[in-house]
Amino acid sequence: MARIADDPRPADRGSITLFAVIFTMAVIFLALMLADFGNRMNAEERAADTAEQAARAAADTLNPADLRTGQVVIDGAAACEAATTLVNQYKTLSGIDATLTNCTAGDPIPRQATVTVMVTTTPILSAFLTGGYTVKVTESACAEFGITTGAAC
């Protein structure tokens, strides 16, 4: 027993444990931040994809009466209805919280449709730190009927 009390080695017992605990907490925090960043990027990608598909669906609805006279004009009411239907189908099939926030079809350019979609997501890290909040990502897309040199959106 006298040898243990007279041990000249420093009393640094447990310092590795403290380092391991702090390091583990930092790694978990950084991993959650990375997951939140990926979640936001995924929401932006889904919003852009949904807006593009909805714009294509809107640009595909032509006014039959104008088409018979030789003019290609998008039917505004039917186009926005088609875009809304597509966004709702995406919401149902993929489980994303997507909302059509704006739809302009056939006006002012008769062959063009512009759609804006908002996707809402909840970050993981905020649930632990702040009690949770939502991130809303908005993306717009434009489509033009027919083969053209590109839609001027």
Structure confidence by residue, pLDDT tens digits, 35-56:
888 888 888 999 999 999 999 8
Instruction: Tell me the one-letter amino acid at 73.
Output: V
pLDDT tens column, 57-74: 988 888 788 878 888 888
Instruction: Label residue 127 by pLDDT band (50, 70, 90).
Output: low
Under DSSP, is residue 142 helix (H, G, I), strand (E, B) or coil?
Answer: strand
Token pair for 97:
């919280």
Domain positions in the chain are 39-144
Report residue 91: phi and psi, to 5°.
-60, -45
Q: Rounded distance, CA 47 to CA 49, Å?
A: 6
Instruction: Tell me the one-letter amino acid at 75.
Output: D
pLDDT at 143 over 90: no
Q: Are 118 and 138 in contact (CB under 8 A)?
A: yes
Q: Are 125 and 36 in contact (CB under 8 A)?
A: yes
Q: Which of 142, 133, 132 is nearest to 106 (CA)?
A: 142
Report residue 121: phi and psi, to 5°.
-140, 160
pTM of full prediction above 0.85: no
